[in-house]
């Protein structure tokens, strides 16, 4: 065997485990210990829709350069699941490493010539020390973390510190965990030449960045943004958002004197009820949100139409996953873009925000609450499983203490008392956004009846055509107003003028940025635009106009953002080249580079052919 991967702070380790075997916390311990050494990591859970018994994987990309996208390929495979052995071994890069439990000998045919095999009798070691079956299982996981610490030269002190933090208050558990760690480490040190070719080296690359999952960050954004009512129905991958909101509220929203809650969370009977509660609460002046995924959005669509037409704020987090309940419920996609943009009956369009990482999940959550109040309409925050459920290295969360909740155009008692004219659907300011009142504000003024579109500017019942059209035109004006209020697109220009551009959004960011570097080194100049909101800012159409061809990079089959661009900006479809990744795994830089490089070289050939007579 010739090739041997030699890498420092730049490799991928993948763990193959069985769901429910307690591997998750050991794997996380591994990832965190590298972070504590100042080296950025990006871990990803790949798990089945199952509680116990099916295969799960945990993939950790270690990258001092801060490449946080999914890379593709594995440099060190920790193969703990016999069920998936064959595919796990096959996924290792040539010259890579395989760590496995060598308690039971395996025939040579089970291995690969071009992979370095590291066998540790984990089960045997474990059974020699522990008698309780559950302990044997759990400590086997810690044992391989110990082995890895030696193989990769991870500072064991960091792991020990993390164990101490994890079991603070349950001190009896600390000793046995450290023991298992040592057992594995010592075995590796005395049996192998440590470190192997892959090595972690202490670094300052991480800086002050934090490590958090998007759902927790979004929940925190809801706390900071002043949400008081949350209604939800459990669905992967969104449940942890609502659960985190409950946890943070328990810490930050309890009246210190009375112990009473400054929030209300209801686990509703379904998504219809969740969104109904959100709409009822927002109609009545509270900030409210729900968190769901694709199938939940489907159930909410009737209510979303009502909220659009009746102009009621609502914030909906759609943590996207693959399709139906028996689709790819635990895999990531960006496939609800159109379902959310045009959710419901009649002529409806909705405001969408696309966070790229947990930091933006936090920022956009708080911002969505302001926008929903300002625009009096549903606002969707479209994240996905990849950023929602995986912890990600990102800039620290920031908050400006001078920020005040923007409650939008609300007439209170004083304004009503002063005789200010009130027409619930009257466009007073010319921006399409009317004024509203909260129920109970004034004894004689400001009451109105909320219904869909059978109403005039003063919320009086009307089924007349011109009155309907008048209202619908104002709603479009309001949608135009939204463009200037949403987070603006981010552009990144190539060093020299580029005739090619790429548009991307959401969790595609790290893969796209990594791809950009690789494409540059292949001589392909590419301008980038990251869409952060819908309706699109005018700069989006301008960006397309400035380029001959624009790749639209997305994680769905049908090029949903591309459709939205064509539809809303009147762009010639021929100019928008779809780059689509939708197998349920996160998009990789390798994929983007391959797709774009191929297209770009084709494009380069075309003019040559044209010039030949």
Partner 1 sequence: MTYLAKPKLHHPKLPVNRLGYTRRDYEGAVSTLCAGCGHDSISAAIVQACFELDLPPHRIAKLSGIGCSSKTPTYFLGNSHGFNSVHGRMPSVLTGANLANRELIYLGVSGDGDSASIGLGQFAHSMRRGVNMTYIVENNGVYGLTKGQFSATADKGSKSKRGAVNNDSAIDLVTLAIQLGAGFVGRGFSGDKAQLVPLIKAAIEYPGAAFIDCISPCIAFNNHAGSTKSFDYVRAHNEAVNRLDFIPAGGEITMQAAPGSLSEVPMPDGSVLRLRRLSEDHDPTDRTAALNYLRQREAQGEIVTGLLYLDPEPDDLHAHLHTVPAPLNRLGDAELCPGSAALERINAALR
Give the position of tokens 């400590």.
139
CA atoms within 13 A of residue 401's CA, in its CB half-sphere: 0
Closest to partner 1 by CB, 283 or 479:
283
Closest to partner 1 by CB, 303 or 551:
303
Could you give the CA distance from residue 33 to residue 142 in angstroms, rounded to a whole number?
13
Indicate which single residue of 79, 143, 148, 212 sits in contact with partner 1 (rule: CB under 8 A). 212
Closest to partner 1 by CB, 45 or 141:
45
- In whole angstroms, the minimum distance from the beta carbon of 187 to partner 1 comes to 31
DSSP bridge pairs for 352 = 380, 534
- In whole angstroms, the minimum distance from the beta carbon of 260 to partner 1 comes to 4
Torsion angles phi and psi, residue 26, rounded to 5: -65, -40
Cβ neighbourhood burial of 448 (10 Å; 0-12, 13-18, 19+): middle
Closest of 45, 17, 391, 370 to residue 215, by C-alpha: 391
Q: Is 107 near partner 1 (CB under 8 A)?
A: no
Q: What is the DSSP letter of 487?
A: P
- Please list every residue from 376 through 415 that binds partner 1, using CB under 8 A: 396-401, 403-405
Q: Which range binds partner 1 by CB under 8 A, 60-68, 185-193, 260-268, 598-606?
A: 260-268
Q: What is the DSSP letter of 382?
A: E
Binding mask 302-331 for partner 1 (x = CB under 8 A): xx--x-------------------------
Burial 189-216 (b: 16+ CB within 10 A, else e): eeeeebbbbbbbeeeebbeebbbbbbbb
- Please list every residue from 445 through 464 that binds partner 1, using CB under 8 A: 447-452, 456, 460-464
Judged by DSSP in three states, 177 sits in helix
Tokens found for residue 170 = 């349950």
Asked if 319 contacts 539 with a C-beta cutoff of 8 angstroms, the reply is no
- Please list every residue from 25 through 44 that binds partner 1, using CB under 8 A: 35
Q: Is 280 near partner 1 (CB under 8 A)?
A: yes
Closest to partner 1 by CB, 274 or 588:
274
Which helix (H) or strand (E) covers residue 374, if one does?
helix 358-375
Q: Is 244 near partner 1 (CB under 8 A)?
A: no
Q: Is 268 near partner 1 (CB under 8 A)?
A: yes
Indicate which single residue of 282, 389, 515, 579 sits in contact with partner 1 (rule: CB under 8 A). 282
- Please list every residue from 60 through 99 that binds partner 1, using CB under 8 A: none
Q: Is 299 near partner 1 (CB under 8 A)?
A: no
Binding mask 486-515 for partner 1 (x = CB under 8 A): ------------------------------
Closest to partner 1 by CB, 233 or 582:
233
Q: In this structure, are strands 533-534 and 351-353 parallel, antiparallel, or unpaired? A: antiparallel
Asked if 113 contacts 96 with a C-beta cutoff of 8 angstroms, the reply is no
Q: Which range binds partner 1 by CB under 8 A, 205-213, 498-506, 553-561, 578-586?
A: 205-213
- Please list every residue from 424 through 443 that binds partner 1, using CB under 8 A: 437-443
Could you give the CA distance from residue 259 to residue 254 in angstroms, rounded to a whole number?
6
Q: Is 236 near partner 1 (CB under 8 A)?
A: no
Indicate which single residue of 279, 343, 433, 585 sits in contact with partner 1 (rule: CB under 8 A). 279
Q: Is 256 near partner 1 (CB under 8 A)?
A: no
Q: Which range binds partner 1 by CB under 8 A, 169-177, 255-263, 493-501, 580-588?
A: 255-263
Size of the site for partner 1 (CB under 8 A): 77
Write the DSSP assignment of 488-500 as a string of letters: PPEEE--SS--SE
Asked if 159 contacts 181 with a C-beta cutoff of 8 angstroms, the reply is yes
Q: Which residues contact 94 (CB under 8 A, 6 or more apart)?
A: 3, 114, 115
Tokens found for residue 4 = 């041997």
Closest to partner 1 by CB, 400 or 572:
400
């Amino acid at each position: 065997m010739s090739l041997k991967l030699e890498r420092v702070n730049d490799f991928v380790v993948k763990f193959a485990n069985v769901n429910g075997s307690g591997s998750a916390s050991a794997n996380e311990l591994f990832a965190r210990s590298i972070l504590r050494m100042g080296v950025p990591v990006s871990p990803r859970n790949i798990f089945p829709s199952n509680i116990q018994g099916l295969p799960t994987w945990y993939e950790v990309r270690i990258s001092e350069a801060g490449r946080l996208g999914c890379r593709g390929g594995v440099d060190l495979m920790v193969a703990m699941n016999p069920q998936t052995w064959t595919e796990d071994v096959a996924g290792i890069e040539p010259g890579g490493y395989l760590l496995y439990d060598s308690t039971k000998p395996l025939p040579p045919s089970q291995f690969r010539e071009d992979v370095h095999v590291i066998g540790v009798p984990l089960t045997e070691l474990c059974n020699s020390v522990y008698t309780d079956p559950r302990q044997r299982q759990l400590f086997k996981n810690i044992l391989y973390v110990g082995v890895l610490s030696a193989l990769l030269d991870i500072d064991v002190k960091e792991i020990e510190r993390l164990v101490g933090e994890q079991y603070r208050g349950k001190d009896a558990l600390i000793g046995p965990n450290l023991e298992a760690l040592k057992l594995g480490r010592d075995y590796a040190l005395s049996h192998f030449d440590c470190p192997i070719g892959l090595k972690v080296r202490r670094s300052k690359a991480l800086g002050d960045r934090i490590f958090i999952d998007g759902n927790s960050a979004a929940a925190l954004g809801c706390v900071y943004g002043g949400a008081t009512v949350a209604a939800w129905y459990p669905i992967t991958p969104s449940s942890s958002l609502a659960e985190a909101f409950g946890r943070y509220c328990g810490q930050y929203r309890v009246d210190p004197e009375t112990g009473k809650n400054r929030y209300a969370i209801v686990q509703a009977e379904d998504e219809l009820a969740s969104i109904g509660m959100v709409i009822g609460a927002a109609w009545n002046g509270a900030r409210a949100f729900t968190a769901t995924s694709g199938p939940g959005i489907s159930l909410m669509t009737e209510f979303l139409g009502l909220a659009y037409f009746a102009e009621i704020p609502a914030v909906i987090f759609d943590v996207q996953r693959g399709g139906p309940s028996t689709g790819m419920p635990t895999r990531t996609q960006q496939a609800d873009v159109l379902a959310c943009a045009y959710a419901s009956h009649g002529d409806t369009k909705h405001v969408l925000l696309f966070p790229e990482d947990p930091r933006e999940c936090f920022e956009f959550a708080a911002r969505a609450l302001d926008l929903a109040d300002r625009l009096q309409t549903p606002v969707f925050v479209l994240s996905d499983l990849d950023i929602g459920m995986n912890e990600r290295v990102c800039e620290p969360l920031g908050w400006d203490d001078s920020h005040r909740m923007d409650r939008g155009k609300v007439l209170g008692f004083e304004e009503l008392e002063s005789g200010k004219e009130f027409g619930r659907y009257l466009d007073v300011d010319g921006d399409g956004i009317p004024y509203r009142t909260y129920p109970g504000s004034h004894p004689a003024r400001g009451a109105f009846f909320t219904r869909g579109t059978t109403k005039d500017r003063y919320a009086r019942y009307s089924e007349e055509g011109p009155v309907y059209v008048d209202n619908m035109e104002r709603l479009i004006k309001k949608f135009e107003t939204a463009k200037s209020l949403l987070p603006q697109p981010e552009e990144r220009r190539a060093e020299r003028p580029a005739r090619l551009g790429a548009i991307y959004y959401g969790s595609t960011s790290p893969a796209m940025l990594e791809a950009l570097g690789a494409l540059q080194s292949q001589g392909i100049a590419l301008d980038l635009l990251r869409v952060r909101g819908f309706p699109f800012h005018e700069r989006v159409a301008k960006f397309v106009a400035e380029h001959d061809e624009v790749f639209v990079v997305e994680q769905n089959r049908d090029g949903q953002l591309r459709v939205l661009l064509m539809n809303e900006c009147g762009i010639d479809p021929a100019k928008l080249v779809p780059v689509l990744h939708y197998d349920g795994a996160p998009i990789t830089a390798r994929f983007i580079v391959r797709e774009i490089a191929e297209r770009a070289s084709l494009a380069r050939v075309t003019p040559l052919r044209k010039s030949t007579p």
